[in-house]
Amino acid sequence: MGHIMQFATVQALQLAPFFISLVLYFSLVRKDPEGELWTTVLKCLPIVALVFYVLIKGFSLNKQFRRSQLILLGLVFSCGGDALLNVNLFPFGMVSFGVAHIFYISAFGWHPLKWIIGVCLYVPVIVFVVFVRKYLDDILVIGVPIYCVLIITMLWRALARAFDTKSYLASFCAFGAVLFVISDALIAVTMFLSVELPSPRLQIMITYYAAQFAIALSTSDDGLLPPCKNKDK
């Protein structure tokens, strides 16, 4: 019990910058940002804090920390995406987040495959892309379908890993992946379909930060447990 309490205390201290940066963002940025430098910095701070967490909770360049390395890169590109979206460079921000999802997919792995989960996720996404296609311009009509495939693949791999390992951290990470999809879905319906939601920025950012927090926290056991070798199912 003493070791568990000590571990929890250390984790809380390491995550303190993240929670402080959240308070700063939500208390100071009261309206939709319009590309200001200070709102861009505040928007990126929570992700920078999660990068800091992944580095200080235990990190190395050896194979035992490969998941931490990949998720760290995903967070870095997510931070870039946040900055680009905040200055109204949506296509470039989408590309940066797409690269982040590739790193997350690599971190979650492809074994076991759990292809049924993938099929169940891809079908509604295909329907959504077909429906929203007529609302997209020449660039987004190509970029949005590619991005949708990447983020849904990320969710698929996170769920497959959670069902396979049945660990608390893997399940929490999968929950974060679900929140990431919800956050981006909120962006899509408000931006492309002009759906009016109550406090849309708050809904988008709360689910987004919670998603990144869950994904980053899933690295906390890296280096503590021997790597598992799984077979396709």
- pLDDT at residue 120, rounded to an integer: 98
**Look-up: residue for tokens 């399940």?**
171
- pLDDT at residue 225, rounded to an integer: 54
- pLDDT at residue 213, rounded to an integer: 98
- pLDDT at residue 140, rounded to an integer: 96
Which residue from 17, 7, 1 is spatially nearest to 224, judged by alpha carbons?
A: 7
The answer to whether the CB of 102 falls within 8 A of the CB of 221 is no
For the chain, residues with pLDDT lower than 70 are 1, 224-233
- pLDDT at residue 226, rounded to an integer: 52
Structure tokens at 58: 């235990």
Which residue from 40, 36, 78 is spatially nearest to 213, judged by alpha carbons?
A: 78
Supply the pTM of this predicted model.
0.93
